[in-house]
Chain A
Amino acid sequence: MSSAAPSISACPACVAAPAAEAVAARRAEKATGLILSLPTAHCAACISDVERTLAAMPGVTSARVNLTLKRVSVAAGPEVTADDVIARLKTIGYPAHELDPGLLSVTETDKRGRDLLMRLGVAGFAMMNIMLLSVAVWSGAEAATRDLFHWISAAIALPTLAFAGQPFFASAWTSLKARRLGMDVPISLALILASTVSLYETFEGGRHAYFDAAVSLCFFLLAGRYLDYRSRAAARSAAEELAALEVPRATKVEGGEEKIVPIAELAVGDLVRVRPGARMPVDGTVTEGASEIDRSLLTGETLPVWAGEGSVVSAGEVNLTGPLTVRVSAAGRDSSLHRMADLVAVAENARTKYTSLADRMARAYSPSVHLLALSAFTAWMYLTWDLRLSVNIAAAVLIITCPCALALAVPAVVTSASGKLFRKGFLIKDGTALERLAEVDTVIFDKTGTLTLGAPEPLDLSEWPRAHLEIVAALAEASSHPLSRALAGALSATGIRRASVTDIREVPGSGVEGRWRGTTVRLGRAEWLGAEPGARTATWFGKGDGAPVEFAFADSPRPGAEEAVRALIAAGKDVFLLSGDGEAPVAALARTLGIPVWQSGMRPEEKAARVAALTEEGHRVLMVGDGLNDTAALAGAHVSISPATALDAARTASDIVLLGQDLSPLPDALRIAQIARRRIKQNFGLSLAYNVVAVPVALVGLATPLIAALAMSASSITVSLNALRLR
């Protein structure tokens, strides 16, 4: 009995407590699930490789790859960290990145899509059944049989419309409340009027009932709506994924102890440690340590800048060589990075809202449809004084003009075009970006990180004596500075062996030092070696007391950049290069790529002003850039593209994200956008042409349900097929 005693409690909450604990434990288990991005997964073998390897890891309970989203979700015990999983995946050749599950609102977006799909399915099944019955009526069922079929149709159609039509009714209601006439108002009116009239006709034993037309209208429109949703959701989930790649945490130093905290919890005056290779999470002043800082994302300059005690750093800069302790002067919302992002948001709102082709069409469409139905009704009332006939004809006009084809025209084209662009590595973030891309006549490029990879390559290695290079290889190997890494990579590629250098140590903010055959050898900054720094990106090498020598670097152009520029110029676009970097590297790059007009040393405001001036002159500008110095220009341009490696603020400001390294598909993207725009216009033409034929038929009262069904399906199918031609 005593074992049962604890369950007899004084309060109900005590009884509930263990159950609540169990629930909490289950939640905690779920919370250890990891989501990783797997950009290279593409085939059946990838799925089984990844899943089998991860399932064999101790502590992992399950792993499932989602190939559509290129992600793997791993359920694992708390002892398995994301780093373990990434390391394991790397050994079998799959690069992976951790995603912040909090930022991926997976369930939320999924729910809307599934909801639409469910309504689409219900409408589809109802449509099939009603069509079966309608075929019997069309082929000559009479009297009692016809009435029976109409009644069965009504029994299927009315609940279906009430359920499947909800997205249209809801949106029509909101637009009516806001005193606007959207596309959904005529749709809802047609659905409601058609079912009421048909129900009345069925009561009276009439010959025509439009249940089939109403349900298939609903089905086709839902299909358009779902396509639209799908292309948006794909873009949004990828954008979320990009944002989720940067897990916003910082290492806070408190009483000599380091603690990892979310950036939101940092306050002014806190101390933050920033390791080499990490991005500054906050604005602040360096209180301890020395290092070099890469400002290229913020200013466009490629040369690293020395930072020591007292230097001011801002969020978004990359710490290169030594650990730094930074006293926070502005964090989170107040940091210069976020202030810039906020400015961009303001600029975006101020940008005159682009009205898409579909919107412009809808604005003219709904009033004219209502007017047409109303005049049909009045005219027939005046002629015949037959209310039933007049309402019937007005309903037929509304059904026949209803924008099946129109509502499918844009989503079908946009879905197939953005799918095609996605396979080429472009992610469309905004629905109207495709239309705006088609209008572009001027292209402005940023240099560092956009036309170039932002990763330096050593120049003229063959000029140096082999003995020198062997020592340099040994020193460069020991550092994680990007210049050293590039040097080490290039040397090992040419087959240089490493000399046996001992006592290698890294001097933060300066370089690497070691001993070779009794003499001190150094690789690092010019000032440290006692040399005069030049204009070029360079690292210096010194042996003993000998004069230091310079290893110069140049940023290599992005693959495909030259082809892209050439094709754009050939297509008759004006191409500009605007950079914040110094004159020499910009001029060299412009010459290599064949860009006629370039400008160096530009500040962010100057870039934005240039874009604004060109827009003023009537040009439609495409801005391609990646840094904080480009964000204002990106937001101000007609349409903008940034690479996936760009700063978060720049990606937010741009309409299209370039996922791969290669720039060569850029002219192709412009071409696809132009074709897509042409297809959309063709589709409008097609549905207009069908209205020109069908509307008079409805107006004179000859539109039977059979004609309505035929015309409606025919126009929807032609429009969809026309969109598919884009593939």
Chain B
Amino acid sequence: MEMLVYLIPVSLLLGGIGLAAFLWSLKHRQYDDPDGDANRILSSDWDDHPKP
């Protein structure tokens, strides 16, 4: 049962990281154009070199 001492904080931490990532993506307007984002991965515009 001592494992719980580690496991519970670890699971909470992982959940927290997930939540933080979600809030970050929300703040940075990642959900504004779902159709566009789905299509943008198909374009090869910036595949070979980084965006200037």
Contact with B along A293-305 (1 / 0, CB 8 A): 0000000000000
* Cβ contact within 8 Å between A129 and B15: yes
Q: Interface-forming stretch among A62-70, A85-93, A387-395?
A: A62-70
CB neighbours (8 Å) of A121 from chain B are 19, 22-23, 26
CB neighbours (8 Å) of B11 from chain A are 129, 132
* Cβ contact within 8 Å between B39 and A110: no
* Cβ contact within 8 Å between B1 and A117: no
* Cβ contact within 8 Å between B33 and A44: no
Looking at A43, A68, A132, the one whose CB has the most chain B CB atoms below 10 A away is: A68
Contact with A along B14-52 (1 / 0, CB 8 A): 010011001100100001111110011011010000000
Query: A interface vs B, CB < 8 Å?
Result: 43-45, 47-48, 52, 65-69, 110, 114, 117-118, 121-122, 125, 128-129, 132-133, 145, 148, 152, 156
Known: A125-B18, A125-B19. A47 touches B36 (CB 8 A): yes
CA–CA, A114 and B40, complex, Å? 22
CA–CA, A47 and B46, complex, Å? 13
Q: Which of B31, B32, B34, B40 contacts A47 (CB 8 A)?
A: B40
28 contacting pairs across A/B (C-beta < 8 A): A43-B39, A44-B43, A47-B36, A47-B43, A48-B45, A52-B45, A65-B36, A66-B33, A67-B33, A67-B35, A67-B36, A68-B35, A110-B32, A114-B26, A114-B31, A117-B26, A117-B31, A121-B22, A121-B23, A121-B26, A122-B19, A125-B15, A125-B19, A129-B12, A129-B15, A133-B8, A152-B8, A156-B12
* Cβ contact within 8 Å between A145 and B1: yes
How far does the Cβ of B11 sit from chain A's closest Cβ, in whole Å? 6
How far does the Cβ of B16 sit from chain A's closest Cβ, in whole Å? 8
Q: Which of B4, B12, B32, B39 contacts A44 (CB 8 A)?
A: B39
* Cβ contact within 8 Å between A118 and B23: yes
CB neighbours (8 Å) of A148 from chain B are 4
Measured CB to CB, the nearest residue on chain A to B46 is A48
CB neighbours (8 Å) of B34 from chain A are 68
Measured CB to CB, the nearest residue on chain B to A145 is B1
Measured CB to CB, the nearest residue on chain B to A144 is B1
Looking at A69, A129, A133, the one whose CB has the most chain B CB atoms below 10 A away is: A129
How far does the Cβ of A639 sit from chain B's closest Cβ, in whole Å? 29
CA–CA, A44 and B42, complex, Å? 6
CB neighbours (8 Å) of B33 from chain A are 66-69
CA–CA, A121 and B40, complex, Å? 25
* Cβ contact within 8 Å between B36 and A118: no
CB neighbours (8 Å) of A52 from chain B are 45
CA–CA, A69 and B36, complex, Å? 9
CA–CA, A711 and B28, complex, Å? 37
Q: Which 9 A-B pairs have the closest CB atoms?
A: A67-B36, A44-B42, A44-B39, A67-B35, A125-B19, A68-B35, A66-B33, A48-B43, A121-B22
CA–CA, A117 and B42, complex, Å? 27
* Cβ contact within 8 Å between A47 and B26: no
Q: Which of B22, B40, B45 contacts A125 (CB 8 A)?
A: B22
How far does the Cβ of B2 sit from chain A's closest Cβ, in whole Å? 12
CB neighbours (8 Å) of B40 from chain A are 44, 47
Measured CB to CB, the nearest residue on chain A to B18 is A125
A47-B39, A129-B12 given; 13 more Cβ-contact pairs under 8 Å: A43-B39, A44-B42, A44-B43, A65-B36, A66-B33, A68-B33, A68-B34, A117-B31, A118-B23, A118-B26, A122-B19, A125-B22, A148-B4
CB neighbours (8 Å) of A69 from chain B are 33
CA–CA, A67 and B38, complex, Å? 10
CA–CA, A69 and B34, complex, Å? 10
CB neighbours (8 Å) of B12 from chain A are 129, 152, 156
CB neighbours (8 Å) of B36 from chain A are 47, 65-68
Measured CB to CB, the nearest residue on chain B to A122 is B19
How far does the Cβ of A40 sit from chain B's closest Cβ, in whole Å? 14
How far does the Cβ of A77 sit from chain B's closest Cβ, in whole Å? 19
CB neighbours (8 Å) of B42 from chain A are 44
CB neighbours (8 Å) of B43 from chain A are 44-45, 47-48
CA–CA, A121 and B21, complex, Å? 11
CB neighbours (8 Å) of A133 from chain B are 8
How far does the Cβ of B8 sit from chain A's closest Cβ, in whole Å? 7
How far does the Cβ of A241 sit from chain B's closest Cβ, in whole Å? 15
Measured CB to CB, the nearest residue on chain A to B8 is A152
CB neighbours (8 Å) of A65 from chain B are 36
CB neighbours (8 Å) of A68 from chain B are 32-36
CB neighbours (8 Å) of A128 from chain B are 15
CB neighbours (8 Å) of B35 from chain A are 67-68
How far does the Cβ of A146 sit from chain B's closest Cβ, in whole Å? 12
CA–CA, A110 and B26, complex, Å? 11
CA–CA, A52 and B44, complex, Å? 12
CB neighbours (8 Å) of A44 from chain B are 39-40, 42-43
CA–CA, A110 and B23, complex, Å? 15
Measured CB to CB, the nearest residue on chain A to B25 is A121
How far does the Cβ of B47 sit from chain A's closest Cβ, in whole Å? 12
CA–CA, A156 and B19, complex, Å? 13
CA–CA, A65 and B12, complex, Å? 39
CA–CA, A110 and B35, complex, Å? 16
CA–CA, A531 and B34, complex, Å? 61
CA–CA, A121 and B31, complex, Å? 13
How far does the Cβ of A46 sit from chain B's closest Cβ, in whole Å? 8
CA–CA, A145 and B7, complex, Å? 13
CA–CA, A411 and B25, complex, Å? 25
How far does the Cβ of A281 sit from chain B's closest Cβ, in whole Å? 35
CA–CA, A67 and B43, complex, Å? 14
How far does the Cβ of B30 sit from chain A's closest Cβ, in whole Å? 11
CA–CA, A47 and B1, complex, Å? 56
How far does the Cβ of B40 sit from chain A's closest Cβ, in whole Å? 6
CA–CA, A148 and B4, complex, Å? 11
CA–CA, A655 and B40, complex, Å? 34
CA–CA, A121 and B18, complex, Å? 10
How far does the Cβ of A161 sit from chain B's closest Cβ, in whole Å? 15
CB neighbours (8 Å) of A110 from chain B are 32
CA–CA, A37 and B19, complex, Å? 35
How far does the Cβ of A699 sit from chain B's closest Cβ, in whole Å? 35
